[in-house]
Amino acid sequence: MEINYLNLQKAAFEGVGAYDIPLLSPETFTDCELIGFNQAKTCKERGNKAVHFFLYDYQFERIWNRPDAYVDMLKQFKCIFSPDFSVYCDYPRALQIYNHYRKHWIGAYMQINGISVIPTIGWSNEDSFEWCFDGEPKGSAVAVSSVGTQKNKQAKELFMNGYKEMLERLEPTQILFYGKVPSEIKDDRVINMSAFQERFRKK
């Protein structure tokens, strides 16, 4: 039985920042349908679809535990988003950083295996700005989720603070928005994935 030492026997990437976060390469998003990772295995027509991980963590924990089991399948899709392991504000700081590292290790591993990976950007509160953008490429398409972030004033403020920080630090070329786009955001770079999906289905 293969012993998996946190995937370090598979690949050790030169990291950036205080926590050696693997650096992702910039990518460009082109028109395609978006499906969740939980649908990928049963999906029949994969060539013009992208795979997202805006799901409960337990639904994609397996890609961290057995990454090689999913490489060949994910190669058949147009692109994937890097796994959105949770960095909730009430999580211990060490766990938030670990989940950020895991997101980047999986993203980098898929990239070296020939898979196009759109960086998923996530943050918690302002303290996370010290590390949550480490490993993210500048001048790339990025994916963000607003799901659950607009339910009250504090949650919305945390989201907008991180969003503005992301724009300043990463200068993204495209912003793929999963969930409702806040009314304050007026930006030609934004692609509302919900609206985009509706247009795609009508083609």
Distance CA 61, CA 189 (A): 31
pLDDT at 20: 96
User: If phi over 0 gives left and psi between -120 and 50 gives alpha, with beta otherwise, what is residue 91?
Assistant: beta
* pLDDT for position 3: 58
Q: What are phi and psi of 143, to 5 degrees?
A: -120, 140
140 burial via Cβ count (<10 Å: 0-12, 13-18, 19+)? buried
191/193 Cα distance (integer angstroms): 6
* pLDDT computed for residue 24 by the predictor: 98
Spatial contact of 74 and 110, defined as CB atoms under 8 Å apart: yes
pLDDT < 70 regions, the chain: 1-4, 195-203
And the tokens for 64?
């961290």
> Which pLDDT does position 194 carry in this prediction?
73
- Which two structure tokens, joined as six digits, stand for 68? 């090689």
The secondary structure of 31-99 as a DSSP string is S-EEEEHHHHTT-S--TTEEEE--S-GGGTHHHHH-THHHHHHHTTSSEEEPP-----TTS-HHHHHHH
Continuous segment of H or E residues that includes residue 196: helix 193-202
